[in-house]
Structure 1
């Protein structure tokens, strides 16, 4: 299974790096999963919201799963999920991928980029608390750490991305593998998951 994490300037570090580590550990434990860090346009690196520069593996392809981090929604910064929502290129790419059958997973206010793509319309979803009201305008807001509606998986803010990644491992590769990764990382995944 191919999974790509779509980065942009201003993404929250933990929103992307947390799930990345969980998923890469899953592959080391036997999951048939390839995880890459990508951008929409060719570039060597992106700068996250707290200044971390992250190298990328290439540009967005046609993965089976695309994961989108959030960051900066409440600040309305020039480099943020808010700015990417306003620009529209990421929501457009998500709509295209989802329309071709990809699963879209979002962490934190990355969910608002999926909302901008129209793929959360009327569906159960969650996001960081700063965007709850915005999300309620288009989706069926769910008060849970993770909301799984099949081909769309969303989660709350920041650390919820870890729980989304662990849930994804269990869903796709089994609870035993998820538990091995949790032991390896010394993390107790939340069971606060809404299944649509």
Structure 2
């Protein structure tokens, strides 16, 4: 059994790379020796989830009780996606429940707005996509202009491709730099930017 169970929650209108990028990093991390299991999940049972660019993905199941829950972004400035998820309230509530149960919560891109709606960014540093910076700054969060912001049990990343750097950072933080660097090399990814650590 894996030491860390990670789940990436999918919802209609999520940005493909926000979820698939970290998924590939974390799955490659497990192949490189990290004791980690990663699943794509949805809030309710469904055969397919449609992403913002019409990619359709079949979740592995419904949201469980992960050690790490990652929320992608997508759709903050349009109908659907994160905006609809925040207005609906079910996803922020589920995120808050997992956070209260001790899970580490991560977000990519405008997924930070879900974390904000869940009430877990109050007084904390966080990153998001440039299109949502003003909206996030209008909440109780402190917006930090970095690709990855690590505040312990909440880790956020800026726009889209920064999710790859976030996942690599989580591998480094939890399993060591050698595994993270091996995965980055395998994926031919040059890590960008320093990680902002609050402590």
TM-score computed with the length of structure 1 as normaliser: 0.98
Mapped to 1, the partners of 2:47 and 2:27 lie a distance apart of 21
State the aligned residue count: 194
Mapped to 2, the partners of 1:103 and 1:130 lie a distance apart of 25
- Equivalences for 1:3-18 in 2 at 5 Å? 3-18=6-21
The two structures, once aligned, show a CA RMSD in angstroms of 0.6
Mapped to 1, the partners of 2:19 and 2:33 lie a distance apart of 21
Mapped to 1, the partners of 2:77 and 2:127 lie a distance apart of 16
Mapped to 1, the partners of 2:10 and 2:23 lie a distance apart of 12
* SS of aligned partner of 1:105: strand
| Deviation digits for residues 118-142 of structure 1 (CA, Å, limit 9, x no counterpart) | 0001100010001001111220110
| Shift in Å, 1:192 | 2.3
Mapped to 2, the partners of 1:110 and 1:66 lie a distance apart of 12
List structure 1 segments (4+ residues) > 6 angstroms apart after TM superposition.
none
Shifted more, 136-145 versus 150-159: the winner is: 136-145
Structure 2 gap segments, 5+ residues each:
none
- Equivalences for 1:1-196 in 2 at 5 Å? 1-75=4-78, 77=79, 79-137=80-138, 138-196=140-198
Would the aligned equivalents of 2:73 and 2:109 in 1 still touch at CA under 8 Å?
A: yes
Mapped to 2, the partners of 1:106 and 1:4 lie a distance apart of 12
Would the aligned equivalents of 2:146 and 2:193 in 1 still touch at CA under 8 Å?
A: no
